[in-house]
Amino acid sequence: MKLLKRITVTAAGAALATGLMASAASAATHNIGPWPDASAVTYVTTTNVQGGGGSWASSTVWRTASVSFGLGLPAAPWHCGWTGVGPPPSCFAFSATVRDSGSFTTHRFALTPNQGSPYTGRHIRSVVSGSVSGLLYFGTFYATTFPSSALVSRFYLDIYGFSAFSWPRQFFPVGTTFGLSPSFWGYTYSAWTRCGFQQWTTQSFDHGQFAFDGNITGCSFHHH
């Protein structure tokens, strides 16, 4: 299978991802209750960034995260898992945002991050380095305790590449009960290669596996 010499994300795909990220950011609740946001910055090293074919790169980013107090009022205890048996737990509503900004370097010969058509089976034939930016927005979620910035790691090693998807847990003490998943997430990886500009965008609604998401392939004339 022949590798593409140069792949660039379409204007429509880039505009779509950018618009979704902007919408998610503007939707985040910030300090509308009586308590201030809990915020922290962490230097995160990820050794296995995940794509459609598995691990394809490593990255280092500054992760800026904040947890906001919903309406600042206690929530119904069943939101925190209470089934009506025993005393009801305290329960509070929160929202959160996580932003990553930094750089990445590909694993040579790994499957490219976009493995959807027409990229199925393609490998990265040269080492590529570039920039990465990401946003995750967590809509209303509920927890039995309050967040604290002091609990968040300042340096973090992410071996499997999934830490951002549960990152707000870092703000809560061990034993806290809550359910948590991002309402929206999106990442963009961009790099200049000898074959020109390459970019891959992955987001919650398609995981970067469509043609308009672009790809990172490196620069090679080898055949697969």
Output the CA angle 102-108-113, nearest 5 degrees.
60
pLDDT tens for each residue of the chain, 224 residues long? 333 333 333 333 444 344 434 443 333 333 344 567 899 999 999 999 999 999 999 999 999 999 998 766 788 999 888 899 999 999 999 999 999 999 999 998 999 999 999 999 999 989 999 999 999 999 989 999 999 999 999 999 999 999 999 999 999 999 998 878 899 999 999 999 988 999 999 999 999 999 999 999 998 644 44
Rounded Cα–Cα distance for residues 196 and 211 (Å):
18
Q: Are 78 and 90 in contact (CB under 8 A)?
A: no
The number of residues making up the chain comes to: 224
Q: Are 6 and 192 in contact (CB under 8 A)?
A: no
Which burial class, exposed, middle or buried, applies to 33 when counting CB atoms under 10 A from its CB (0-12, 13-18, 19+)? Answer: middle
**pLDDT confidence of residue 179:** 77
Phi and psi at residue 42, in whole multiples of 5°?
-130, 140
